[in-house]
């Protein structure tokens, strides 16, 4: 019988609840339930947890391989983008230098076109406040330190969850 992790956990919890209940059990029934609980907690659960850990290690290795491949492909894409941008810049330079605004080249038409207006900020400090956007960021480290020290931080509280550590 190959039970899922959920089935093992739920079965163990059900047996514990039944043993803790006031239901009348004879010695043989109680021994069978205790034996089933012991098997669930000391045989089935550790074996299933080990299989989970093995699968997670395999996923870790696969994930690392995917990240490496993503990085390799990202570098390759960036290299191709850079080559394309340099070629485009050379086209612009050639058209400007030769005084050509438009060149028909086979199935392509290459033309110089004006860019839309853009703002270039020369000195940020001189820009009036009406054109500045202010954003706030919460300092969670400072709030954590204050809450740990016993201070009250309105709108915030300390929480502590749990995580799984595999060694």
**DSSP labels, 96-138:** HHHT-SEEEETTEEEE--PPPP----S-GGGS-GGG-------
Position 107 in a domain? yes
Position 161 in a domain? no
**What's the CA gap between 29 and 18, in Å, rounded?**
11
Position 150 in a domain? no
- Mean pLDDT across the stretch 124-135? 92
- Rg from Cα positions in the chain: 34
Position 125 in a domain? no
Helix (H, G, I), strand (E, B) or coil at 163: coil
The answer, yes or no, to whether residue 69 has pLDDT greater than 90, is yes
Position 87 in a domain? yes
- Mean pLDDT across the stretch 51-78? 97
Least confident residue range of 72-81, 93-102, 109-118, 157-166: 157-166
User: What does the mean pLDDT of the chain come to?
Assistant: 93
Domain count, the chain: 1
At residue 1, the pLDDT reads 64
Domain that holds residue 82: 5-111
Position 157 in a domain? no
At residue 95, the pLDDT reads 95
At residue 30, the pLDDT reads 85
77-85: long-range pairs with CB below 8 Å, 24+: none
Position 165 in a domain? no
Position 56 in a domain? yes
Residues 6+ apart with CB under 8 A from 27: none
């Amino acid at each position: 019988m190959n039970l899922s992790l959920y089935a093992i956990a739920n079965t163990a919890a059900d047996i514990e609840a039944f043993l803790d209940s006031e239901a009348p059990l004879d010695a043989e029934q109680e021994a069978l339930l205790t034996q089933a609980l012991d098997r669930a907690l000391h045989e089935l659960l550790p074996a299933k947890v080990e299989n989970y850990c093995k699968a997670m290690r395999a996923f870790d290795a696969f994930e690392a391989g995917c990240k490496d491949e993503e990085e390799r492909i990202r570098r390759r894409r960036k290299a191709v983008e850079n080559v394309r941008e340099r070629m485009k810049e050379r086209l612009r330079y050639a058209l400007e230098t030769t005084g050509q605004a438009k060149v028909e080249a086979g199935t392509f038409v290459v033309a110089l076109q004006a860019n839309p207006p853009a703002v270039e900020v020369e000195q940020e400090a001189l820009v009036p406040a009406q054109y500045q956007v202010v954003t706030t960021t919460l300092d969670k480290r400072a709030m954590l330190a204050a809450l740990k020290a016993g201070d009250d931080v309105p709108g915030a509280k300390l929480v502590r969850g749990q995580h799984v550590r595999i060694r």
